[in-house]
């Protein structure tokens, strides 16, 4: 199971995400580094946690209020050995290719940025499975779509359709759990993973302990997204080493 640290960028700095309420986000305060520079945080993740994959969310691009493409390119150039998974609110292939050209390994196609799965299907056809993954952005266990949308809000239904479209990797992101703890939804993961065994699931939102990592792995997670627990020191490098040994 991959442990994937997260960097949320807004206004050129790394911010602390909470419940998806982006207007209230503030620069991170972390035990891993001084300040909130995204490039320095990426380096700290590699040096301290010895990770090889990092998830980046360009919140300005997601909200349609700007972008941090130049910073993402600088991050990719500074740590070329790291695989960067980038969500920048993409809804067309041109946006996706700009991210890939900047150094992203994969672009995240997120439900909150789309009104339907037809756009996701087109992006997958153009970019291929090696360059894409889908994010089911959840609130109260329902899939969140860009309005107006007539798509199902049932994550199991959408995951099944994603498998038929050709997706092989999907994020289950509990947006209302981000940054506030409470635990990721292992029960929901287990239900969806059992119903759609052909997909690798990455889980994020609310993870606070190494015990949860073990539970999520047993429920079917192939990876987990972590941020707050790393910045607070609740989950440490030693914890991650022990979890890897256990799973």
Cβ burial of 199 (10 Å; 0-12, 13-18, 19+) is buried
pLDDT tens track for 176-226 = 999 887 788 999 999 999 999 999 999 999 999 999 999 999 999 999 999
3-class secondary-structure state, position 83: strand
Q: What is the pLDDT of residue 241?
A: 84
Residue 247 has pLDDT above 70, yes or no: no
Percent above pLDDT 70 for the chain:
99
Under the banding of pLDDT at 50, 70 and 90, the label for residue 22 is: confident
All structural domains of the chain: 2-246 (3.20.20.70)
Helix and strand numbers, DSSP H then E, in the chain = 10, 11
Report the candidate in 185, 202, 204, 201 with the shortest Cα–Cα distance to residue 193.
201
Residue 245 has pLDDT above 80, yes or no: no
How far, in Å, CA of 2 to CA of 164, rounded?
Answer: 25
Q: What is the pLDDT of residue 88?
A: 98
Where is pLDDT greater, at 220 or 18?
220
pLDDT tens track for 25-74 = 999 999 999 999 999 999 999 999 999 999 999 999 999 999 999 999 99
Report the candidate in 53, 64, 55, 50 with the shortest Cα–Cα distance to residue 14.
55
How far, in Å, CA of 229 to CA of 210, rounded?
Answer: 10
Under the banding of pLDDT at 50, 70 and 90, the label for residue 141 is: very high
Report the candidate in 119, 110, 124 with the shortest Cα–Cα distance to residue 225.
110
């Amino acid at each position: 199971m991959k442990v994937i640290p997260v960097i949320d960028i807004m206004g050129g700095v790394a911010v602390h995400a909470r419940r998806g309420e982006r207007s209230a986000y503030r620069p991170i305060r972390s035990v891993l580094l001084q300040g909130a520079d995204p490039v320095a945080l990426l380096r700290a993740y590699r040096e301290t946690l010895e990770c090889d994959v990092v998830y980046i969310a360009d919140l300005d691009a997601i909200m349609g209020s700007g972008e941090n493409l130049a910073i993402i390119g600088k991050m990719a150039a500074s740590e070329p050995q790291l695989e960067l998974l980038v969500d920048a609110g993409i809804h067309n292939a041109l946006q996706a290719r700009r991210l890939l050209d900047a150094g992203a390994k994969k672009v995240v196609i997120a439900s909150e940025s789309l009104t339907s799965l037809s756009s996701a299907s087109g992006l997958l056809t153009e970019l291929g499975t090696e360059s894409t993954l889908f994010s089911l952005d959840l609130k109260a266990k329902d899939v969140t779509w860009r309005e107006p949308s007539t798509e199902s809000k049932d994550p199991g239904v959408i995951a099944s359709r994603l498998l038929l479209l050709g997706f092989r990797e999907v994020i289950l992101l509990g947006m209302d759990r981000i940054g506030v703890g409470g635990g990721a939804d292992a029960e929901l993961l287990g239900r969806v993973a059992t119903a759609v065994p052909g997909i690798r699931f990455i889980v994020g939102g609310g993870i606070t302990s190494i015990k949860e990592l073990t539970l999520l792995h047993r429920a079917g997670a192939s990876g987990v997204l972590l941020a707050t627990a790393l910045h607070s020191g609740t989950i440490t490098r030693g914890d991650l080493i022990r979890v890897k040994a256990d799973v």
